[in-house]
Structure 1
Amino acid sequence: MGHSHTHDTGNSEPTPATIGARKRANLLLAAILVPIGVLTVIGMMLLWPSGDRSSVTISNPYATADGVSIDVGQVERVSEEDCPSSQPTVDAGGDALQCQVAYTAPDAGGALVPVEVTPELARAGAVEAGDKIRYLNLDGVIQGGSAPYIFMDFVRTVPMMWLAVLYAVVVVAVARWRGLRAMIGLVGALVVLAQFILPGLVEGKPPLLLALVGSVVIMIGVLYFAHGFSARTSTALLGTLFGLSITALLAAWATESIYLFGVGDENAYALVNSSGEVSISAIIMCGLIISGLGVLNDVTITQSSAVWELYELAPNTSSRRLFSGAMRIGRDHIASTVYTIAFAYAGAALPLLILVSLYDRTLLENLTSGELAEEVVRTLVGSIGLVLAIPATTLIAVLVVKAVGIRQHAAADGGGQTPGQLVAGSAASSAGGQTVSVAPGGGDIETRRSRRDRDAHGAE
């Protein structure tokens, strides 16, 4: 019965030939990516918003009239009693309505004030003693018994800060410096979104160019900052840009062809009425492009690393076998990430899904309705860009590693041995849930499962 021996090489130092190949790969990729980066910077400068919002007129829901203030306090007790707002009805001889009243101690000091809680929150039992809340203080405006204190919102600062701290601690504890760099990159991405993309949409900049330029800037920053400057990262960036381009083209087509105009969305109506420059279809198009960035980044960096690992373990492997081996990993990734996108959107739109499911309509009518069409299209567009990015990244990585291959230098580094002999029976790498090893002598890649089947057959 044959035996296959594997040794962990994950901590071994790269050979001089490998280091030289990586340097040549960096030069080759830089020749492609530097012009793209320059064009992106130029595009960002041309599209940078002016910051002039004089043409935008939108009412602030948190603005108050003269004499009205938004106060903060802590709920001391909650009771069911006559609504303060029913006092005029009682004075006229009618019956008072029952509602939930939260007696709240103002942060500014003073006696407890009776804050009238909305019926929706009262039914859910959301307001409890100890909660920090914001409420409208109408005491100096409304006279004659109407409710002078009305619940407005919860104060969520402390629990959200604790959750953010826990998130940061977990990420840094597990991923260490790379996790910290990823979080800093995320902050930078949010700055680009808030300072470039969102103001640009408000000012009516070309949405497709705005989304593409902003997304490329985000991906360049996030990838290099989190994963470092390397041939693998650059290869992943090229694959990401390919997937991003496909997603952008599909988003531009789908927005117009499937009539995605935000019909029925209250926020969309508010934006349309705020300025003649704002286009809801443009905002939806940008949303379709931006929504898939995170998952796209994930799969491309994984595929790039898989190709480089497989090649460095078996330099004699042919391009075709290298591509097919990496794609076996990619197909597993596709299956899982497509589910990730679909369920992420479903979870975010769960109240809407429940509401639409209660309508007396068929499933097809619900899925193609104005309420759900945007979510369905976002899932499909993002998934198509993601799926096509995987073979594109794999192909780019194979072409790069073959163009700067270490094959011609391996014999000198190995004391006259051939590349296949150098790695024969000694290299193994875990990728995509399977252990990949190098077959003795030939540099071919085979899975642990195929070796097990072969050994079992020999035993028979």
Structure 2
Amino acid sequence: MGANHSHGHSGGSAVPSSRATVWATLAVIVPLALVTLTALVWMWPGPPASTAERPVNLQRVSGTITAVTLTRCPEEPLADGQPRGGPKADPATCGDARVMLTSGPDTGHVITGALPSGPGSQTFAAGDNVILIYMPDSGSGLDVPPYQISDHDRSSSLWLAGVAFVLAVIAFGRWRGVMALIGLVITFVLLLTFVIPAILAGQSPLLVAIVGAGAIMLMVLYLTHGVSIPTSMAVVGTLVSLSLTGLLSYAAIGIVQLNGITDESSFYLDTSYQINTQGLLLASIIIGSLGVLDDVTVTQSVTVTELAHANPGYTFAQLYRAAARVGRAHIASVINTIILAYAGASLPLLLLISVGEQPIGEVVTNPVIATEIVRSVMGTLGLIAAVPITTALAALASTRRAASGHDHVDHSPLPAARHRRRPDALPDPLMRSSS
């Protein structure tokens, strides 16, 4: 992504932005920031009042498997004297495991629990760290053991992956990498403390997504790329493109008649929490598009700025055409990235459809596939619109800056070209004519 270009460039001083450009930018950014902050404070959800039924006396404890004893899996139940034909249990999941508890009320004790043996159950071996469900005094009247092995304990491996990610970002990006990590933290904090709780509290998912995306965009872009005119042009371009994406998505969802219910999670939210799943789908498109839009807009804004610094005499049309060529190449690769990302996320569903050998017409009109098509198409249209919008804004700001600082423009060749020229060589005819 781009860098902060407000501090000039090596080998030559940057032309300062014109006063009119600065004031015009402030006239857009400041009201946008104030409106976003006001809406964020006004819509901030209160303490959660969960209505979900939670099991009584249910705890998650950790332990380490010390030994596994496998036994023969039970025979399949019969139906009319014949096996049911269901999936057979994996022989590696039938048996018991001795577990040394490392948390909970019985820490240090060794318990024996049955291995999970249902369809799709994981396999366990000695030395594995596991999560167990502790159910003391269940009161159900059934002979249920207090400890049941539930899953692998992945906390250590996830922490290791997280540390490796942080070190790699800082090692490559240095201070800019640190700022990017802080921006990532801000994004997760806003999603977990504002967007999700506000939607669960019954507020409009669309309005929550707009306010949340605006707050993320303003804080993360300026924090990561610095307070500068190029960053401000990227912010404005992102805002306009995101608004267009929202309008197009709203129209597409109505035309295709999608209700947002595509899986058990959305069905549960609709029936148990009365969440507007159609609005939730629209909100997910907006938030998902923001992650790619800021990449495109920052790249275009920085590209225009670099072209303007390298070629101070470029007009608005020249800057726009040169940067648009970069944008078209970028969009061509991003479109493929989006489609592959959605295809990868939906790969199990695609395989299931392929096994069923359904006609392509039925596959495309399936609500799940249709939702992903609308999501990817609307996001792509927003990305395509972001290139000309941001490029035009950045080119306008750069040409106004060059015009205001015309007396300060360095018309000499770029530093690298000066060093390559021999002392006795004649000046370049273009440079001679321009001087």
Question: TM exceeds 0.5?
Answer: yes
Q: 1:272 to 1:412 in 2, by over 3 A?
A: closer
Aligned to 2:272: 274
Determine if contact 1:102/1:114 at 8 Å carries over to the other structure. Answer: yes
Distance 1:364 1:439 in 2: 63
Determine if contact 2:18/2:404 at 8 Å carries over to the other structure. Answer: no
Structure 1 position 41 matched with structure 2 position 40: no
Structure 1 position 101 matched with structure 2 position 104: no
> Which amino acid in the other structure matches residue 299 of structure 2?
T
Q: CA deviation at 1:235?
A: 0.8
Tell me the number of residue pairs that the alignment of Structure 1 and Structure 2 aligns.
398
Aligned to 1:357: 354
Distance 2:218 2:278 in 1: 27
Aligned to 1:78: 68
Q: 1:400 to 1:410 in 2, by over 3 A?
A: closer
Q: CA deviation at 1:22?
A: 6.4
Residue segments in structure 1 that go unaligned for 5+ positions in a row: 1-8, 87-96, 428-437, 445-460
Determine if contact 1:105/1:113 at 8 Å carries over to the other structure. Answer: no
Structure 1 position 169 matched with structure 2 position 167: yes
Q: Deviations over 1:343-387 (max 9, x none)?
A: 222222222222232223122322321222222222111111111
Aligned to 2:52: 58
Aligned to 1:116: 115
Q: State the TM-score, normalized to the length of structure 2.
A: 0.82
Q: 1:111 to 1:252 in 2, by over 3 A?
A: same
Q: 1:286 aligns with which of 260, 283, 288?
A: 283
Q: 1:209 aligns with which of 207, 210, 221?
A: 207
Residue segments in structure 2 that go unaligned for 5+ positions in a row: 1-7, 76-88, 419-427
Determine if contact 1:101/1:117 at 8 Å carries over to the other structure. Answer: no
Distance 2:430 2:228 in 1: 29
Alignment of 1:298-309 (within 5 A): 298-309=295-306
Aligned to 1:371: 368
Q: CA deviation at 1:251?
A: 2.3
Distance 2:382 2:125 in 1: 46
Distance 1:359 1:368 in 2: 15
Distance 1:130 1:120 in 2: 23
Q: State the TM-score, normalized to the length of structure 1.
A: 0.78
Moved more, 301-310 or 351-360: 351-360
SS state at 1:440 partner: helix
SS state at 1:243 partner: helix
Q: CA deviation at 1:41?
A: 1.8
Q: Deviations over 1:172-196 (max 9, x none)?
A: 0001111111111111111111222
Aligned to 1:236: 234
Alignment of 1:188-337 (within 5 A): 188-276=186-274, 278-337=275-334
Distance 1:395 1:443 in 2: 29
Q: 1:385 to 1:149 in 2, by over 3 A?
A: same
Q: CA deviation at 1:443?
A: 11
Distance 2:364 2:352 in 1: 13
Q: CA deviation at 1:319?
A: 1.5
Determine if contact 1:78/1:100 at 8 Å carries over to the other structure. Answer: yes
Determine if contact 2:64/2:99 at 8 Å carries over to the other structure. Answer: yes
Distance 2:416 2:180 in 1: 36
Q: 1:399 aligns with which of 372, 388, 396?
A: 396
Distance 1:442 1:39 in 2: 52
Distance 2:12 2:149 in 1: 63
Determine if contact 2:63/2:131 at 8 Å carries over to the other structure. Answer: yes
Q: Deviations over 1:247-293 (max 9, x none)?
A: 111222233332332435111222223234x2111211111110121
CA RMSD, 1 decimal: 3.1
SS state at 2:430 partner: coil
Q: Deviations over 1:89-148 (max 9, x none)?
A: xxxxxxxx96243332222122341332233455xx642322211123457658887666
Aligned to 2:345: 348
Q: Deviations over 1:56-104 (max 9, x none)?
A: 52234xx3x45x5443211223343156x99xxxxxxxxxx96243332
